[in-house]
Every structure is written in structure tokens, then in C-alpha cells.
Amino acid sequence: MTINNIKKHFLNELSNLYLKQEVESFFYLLTEAFLDLKRVDIILDPNKKIVYEVEQKYNSALAKLKKEIPIQYIIGTTEFYGLPFTVNENVLIPRPETEELAAWVVQEVKWQKAKGKSKEVKVKKPLTILDIGTGSGCIAIALAKNLTNAKVWALDVSKKAIEVAQNNAKLNHVNVQFLNEDILTLKKLPVKLDVIVSNPPYVRELEKEEIKKNVLENEPHLALFVKDHNPLLFYDKIADIAKENLNPNGKLYFEINQYLGNETVTLLQEKGFEHIKLKKDIFGNDRMVRAKYIL
């Protein structure tokens, strides 16, 4: 069988489930993973013969795609903030919105306003940063990679998620200290912090019908959902932790439920946070909040 035959087979078999562009994207991602071939390589040599063992890999991947298993889990890798990450069913697949959150932290840590202009800040003492609910480690590792003067910690309740994140830290050659803790029962952190960032569970049970099947049936519910009656559970607890553990003028960053932006801002105001900013993502949804705790 040739590479072009396999592509046609994918298009025929998956046309009732996915758009043509999606199927082509899956095919090219798999081809790069299985054969280390780019799209241009396939265009230049569409009749390249595929050995039986590789053909079987494609067939296995095709069967999983028919079950709507995410392509990132099938190939075991994804990209976040320009960095490679391994992923499996124990961690969420990093989203573009979360990448925006990491970029916001990097931007505000590295740059400050001075007389209406932004200037880069060269901080002498190491910044201390904690990522709560780290999952694959994508936020913590992106911050460690881009803020070389930072000491980064990352916390998650899932031991299996921590293992994935530790491997990703090694993959990206950064030093991150990992904590296997439940933030809801944690009493004290081992370090005072300049920045706390978190993408905690925030999807309410009532919003499950909005979630795509490939997410709902494959990604860890522990990292996604909260009860309808207490949707800000994690924000409430993390804000309390932040009050106790942030250095003077320390900042707290959250990814949030798009429907609960005002409620999240109100919660932070009631806890004494200041300079609160609600920020939209690239899709125009309320998605991020930044707050400062001034002692």
C-alpha cells in the first residue's frame, strides 16, 4: 500500500465523523509520528510504499479515531507554547486558551508599564511561581522555559498526572519542583510565592451537553468538572491559599469558566484582592482573571 492509498482510506472511513480538513490533519500528524515525514514529503512522493508494520499502526489509529479518541492521545504528543509535550488519558490535552494564560503571565512578569510604555524588567532575585492543578505540566514548564529567573513549583492531586508532568519537564530541560497534594485539603505551602497560576476544574455538570464527545469520553473528569451547586470551589480555596502564601504585591492568575467571569471577580474582591482584571480569550469569551494581593 502507498501513502496516498492510506490517505484516501482515511478520508473514506472518517468522512461521516469529521470534516475533510480534520481528517487530513489527523493523517499528516500520524504520518509525521510514524514515518517522520512532513506534508511536503508526501506531496513530493505520494506513491511511497508503506511496510506492513506501519500500515498496521495506521489501521490501529483509524480504529481509535472512529471511537473519537483524541489524536493527541493516539500519537501521545502535542505542542504547547512552542514546546513538545507528551500526553495520555491521565492529563487534559492543553488548550489554546491555556496557552493564552501562560503568555499573559510571561508578559506581565517580564514587562511593566513605565510612563505609558512597556519596558522589560530584569529581576535580580529569583521569582517564585506555583502552578496549581498542573496536569501535563504545560503551564509550569512553559513558565520555567520562558522565565529563566524563576523557581517554579507545580502541584496536582493526581500521582499519574505528576508522572506525566515530570517526564515533560525532562523533555523540555527545565527544573520544576512537583508536589503531589490535594489543594482542597492542603493547609500550607512550603514556600512564599510571587505568582500563583491555576487552571482548575471549572466545567459545571449542567454544561456537559456542551462538551464534545471526544473530550467527555476520554479526558479525565477529575480535571474538568465541578458540582453545579459550588462551581467556584477551587477558586475559593486557591484564593485563600494565595492570601496566605503570596509575597507582598504577589499576583494570582486563573483560567475561568466563561459563564462565571463576574462571579469570579466578585469572589476575589470579597477576599481583598485588588487590581483585578477580567480578560477574554481569542474566541471572545471571558477566560482569564488576574488579581493582586497587596498586604
Burial-class residue 161 by CB neighbours within 10 Å (0-12, 13-18, 19+): buried
Each residue's pLDDT, cut to its tens digit, for the chain (295 residues) gives: 899 999 999 999 999 999 999 999 999 999 999 999 999 999 899 899 999 999 999 999 999 999 999 999 999 999 999 999 999 999 999 999 999 999 999 999 987 644 455 555 555 578 999 999 999 999 999 999 999 999 999 999 999 999 999 999 999 999 999 999 999 999 889 899 999 999 999 999 999 888 888 898 999 999 999 999 999 999 999 999 999 999 999 999 999 999 999 999 999 999 999 999 999 999 999 999 999 988 7
Residue found by looking up cell 498542573 in the block:
134
Q: Report the alpha-carbon distance of residue 243 to residue 156 in Å, rounded.
A: 20
Task: Please state at what angle helix 96-110 crosses helix 138-146, rounded to 10 degrees.
Answer: 30
Does domain 90-293 fall under CATH 3.40.50.150? My reply is yes
Q: Report the alpha-carbon distance of residue 218 to residue 280 in Å, rounded.
A: 27
| pTM, entire model | 0.92
**Could you tell me the residue ranges of all domains in the chain?**
3-67, 90-293
